[in-house]
Amino acid sequence: MLYLRPMDRIARIQEFLAANPNDNFLRHALALELLKTGDTAGASALFEAILTESPDYVGSYYHLAKLLEQLGEKEQAIGWYEKGMIAAKAAKDQHAYNELQGAYEDLVY
């Protein structure tokens, strides 16, 4: 199996995004790769863009809120966990809801 370094994976995802700039799966994947390189600002901006444009993209709520939590932005993290729980409930995604709720409760209580 071919192993790609993080910067190679980022470049590869960016190539795919050039052809499909609104693909939330690719944007989410790019944000996760940026996190691995320590680019928290880039990752945060991507997660926020995804959720602003596609609030039903449930998978990004947890990652954005967790990132904000790690950056010490507790109130912002709480807000994104709450929005994520609402979106997960609307999508009938119980697994995502439970993950978001658990992380939210760990942070708040």
For every residue of 42-75, DSSP letters joined together read HHHHHHHHHHHH-TT-THHHHHHHHHHHHTT-HH
The predicted model scores a pTM of: 0.91
Q: Is the model's pLDDT at 4 over the cut of 70?
A: no
Cα 77 from Cα 62, distance rounded (Å) = 9
Write out pLDDT tens, residues 75-108.
Answer: 999 999 999 999 999 999 999 999 999 999 999 9
pLDDT score recorded for residue 5 = 77
Cα 98 from Cα 104, distance rounded (Å) = 10
Write out pLDDT tens, residues 31-75.
Answer: 999 999 999 999 999 999 999 999 999 999 999 999 999 999 999
